[in-house]
Amino acid sequence: MKKTAKMLIASIIISVMCFTLFSAAYALSLDTKGSTTLHVADSETKAPLVGASFRIYFFAAAYKSVSGVGYDYVVPYDDCNMDMDDLQDAYLPIHLTHFANTHSLPFTEITSDENGYIVFESLEPGVYLIVPSNSIDNYFMPTPFVVNIPLYDDENKDWIYDINATPKMRIYGGGDKDTFTYISVRKVWDTYGSHPESVTVSLLKDFVQVDTVELSEENNWSFRWENLSARHNWNIVENVPDGYTVSYETSSNTVTVINSSTSPEGDNPPEPTTDEEELIYTGQLNWPVPVFSAVGLILFSIGWAMLNFGKKDEETA
């Protein structure tokens, strides 16, 4: 009788603790809308900048995953030919900006108020591209960036649906005299077998296309633009050929454009294998590790206690 009561109490304790541990994990709601607030200010003095306009594009929808939350491209961004494995990839927003511009995709645009604030409201859970749409005198145009809604707050163990961001507004320090720079591009095929005989890459000035060039064997799959005003941001993006995905690597003033085949078999070089395989999830969170560790420890402790109590009951019976 005593043994049955102990087992009942142990079961209740396990249920309560598991509910407590997992309730926070499942607090994620994809029905809750969020917002993004930008504070546009001088990066050094923190003085607000009035009249800066930004556009916001919705390019990926959120879904619940084993790691908390994941994201999938929405149509037509699913044809942008760039993997969304790493939302922190600095070139992802640049590539998406070019894709959105060339396809005339919808956006919402707001201009900063007298305090330098812009608020985008009623945003569905997902990932958003935020792009500057005008320049401020004597300031470099800030780089486009992405915002996730919601974000998981590790410190408070909760989901955040209202996101604050501060675009980096750097003042041009060259005075009235213009200085010049350059940018180079080189092409790499990360495939076996045949590939297209040429590709087209675009030169972006402040994230707007101003020139294109064709890369092929004739120019050794490379090109260099000279005498570019240092007052502007200069980037390279590729018009990705069908059947390939693109990634970018930057080193100093050189952009390396890498294409990998999306064909089901044979075209991509085999990836190196190790004894341990790592599974990557978009939007991966760390909360499952301590939660499952804690549950395992609890179950082990209760099982050990029940086993020992059972032995004592048998000895005293």
Whether 210 and 255 share a structural domain: yes
> Are residues 143 and 187 both part of a single domain?
no
For residue 41, being part of any structural domain is answered with yes
Q: What is the pLDDT of residue 4?
A: 55
Domain CATH for 189: 2.60.40.1140
Looking at the fold, whether 152 and 213 belong to one and the same domain comes out as no
Q: Examine the domain organization and report whether 43 and 158 are in the same domain.
A: yes
Asked whether residue 39 carries a pLDDT value surpassing 50, the answer given is yes
For residue 48, being part of any structural domain is answered with: yes
3-state secondary structure of 202: strand
Q: Is residue 273 part of a domain?
A: no
121 and 235 share one domain: no
Closest CA to 190 of 268, 125, 133: 268
**Residue 123 sits in the same domain as residue 242:** no
Smallest CA-to-CA distance from 170 within 44, 65, 62, 12 is with 44
Q: Give the number of domains in the chain.
A: 2
Burial code (b: 16+ CB inside 10 Å, e: under 16) for 196-217 equals eeebebbbbebbeeeeebebee
State how beta strands 180-189 and 145-149 pair: unpaired
Chain centre distance of CA 214: 30
Same domain, 42 and 134: yes
Q: pLDDT tier at 214 (50, 70, 90 boundaries)?
A: very high
The CATH number linked to 143 is: 2.60.40.10
Q: Is 257 within the bounds of a domain?
A: yes
Query: 171: which DSSP letter?
Result: B
Residue 40 has pLDDT above 60, yes or no: yes
Residue 294 lies in a domain: no
Pick the range with the lowest mean pLDDT from 81-90, 230-239, 264-273: 264-273
Identify whether 21 is part of a domain.
no
107/195 same-domain check: no
Domain residues for the domain of 221 are 180-261
Are both 74 and 161 inside the same structural domain?
A: yes
pLDDT of residue 289: 46
pLDDT tens across 44-65, in order?
A: 999 999 999 999 999 999 999 8
Of 165, 192, 224, the position where a domain reaches its end is: 165
160 within some domain:
yes
In a domain, 191, yes or no: yes
One domain, residues 115 and 194:
no
What's the pLDDT at 173? 75
Domain end among 165, 191, 218 = 165
Q: Is the CB of residue 25 less than 8 Å from the CB of residue 18?
A: no
Confidence of residue 271 (pLDDT cuts 50, 70, 90): low
**pLDDT tens column, 94-103:** 999 999 999 9
Last residue of a domain, one of 261, 287, 307: 261
- Residue 70: CB partners within 8 Å, gap ≥ 6? 62, 63, 64, 281, 282, 283
38 and 160 inside one domain: yes
